[in-house]
Structure 1
């Protein structure tokens, strides 16, 4: 499915994007965001910096660079949040811009051992808590 960058949340950098996530850092070929809904403490997202509908449309070099960014982000998340596991979600049925949801999971925490919920709308933080989280991630990147 070919999508239009004019309709893309990540390309337009619009209010909808700002209501859902906070940009933390630019990586080599992508951007790291904190997902505002924090049912899964430390949940982040990495979005490719160009409008690409699917990972299979990248060259091998571009794909490797994107996946290196994903790993770079999850290594920082591991140090900052110390989850038991980080789940990776690459869903783009309705938003076709290459991005990975990075979802820390904790034993005894929400949905441990199962699939994470996309946006449960249960846990939101203060501006200071988001800022502290962003600073801690930046320090580890």
Structure 2
């Protein structure tokens, strides 16, 4: 999953302290949902910017036995797993609902 700002910033240090705090809190909450949903053992976080000039985090769930378990996640694997459009849409819907539920709990 990618978590991106909804306005253009190239670097993390370009955010105000409050913006940076809010953004990293949202990244952490999203990581929690991903970890719980996939029963992952670890979440890898990637912040790049060499090819896409827009601040964003890649969040990747990992499990022992994954080909990259003892290393950074592979951004462009040789044999990627593709979901059907239907499964992809269902997964997006599930994760979105879980995120909205978590944010609702925090707001109350």
TM-score by length of 2: 0.85
Structure having the higher strand fraction is 1
Unaligned 5+ residue runs, structure 1?
1-43
Which of the residues 88, 104, 127 maps onto 2:45? 88
Aligned mates of 2:44, 2:95 — CA distance in 1: 18
1:25-104 counterparts in 2 under 5 A? 44-104=1-61
Which of the residues 94, 98, 107 maps onto 1:136? 94
Structure having the higher helix fraction is 2
Shift of residue 106 of structure 1?
A: 0.6
Question: What count of residue pairs does the alignment treat as equivalent?
Answer: 98
* 2:71 corresponds to: 114
Which of the residues 85, 88, 96 maps onto 1:127? 85
SS in 2 for 1:97: coil
Aligned mates of 1:95, 1:52 — CA distance in 2: 11
> Deviations 1:71-111 (Å, cap 9, x if unpaired)?
12111112211110000000111212100000111100120
TM-score by length of 1: 0.66
The ranges of structure 1 where at least 4 consecutive aligned residues each deviate by more than 4 angstroms after the TM superposition are none
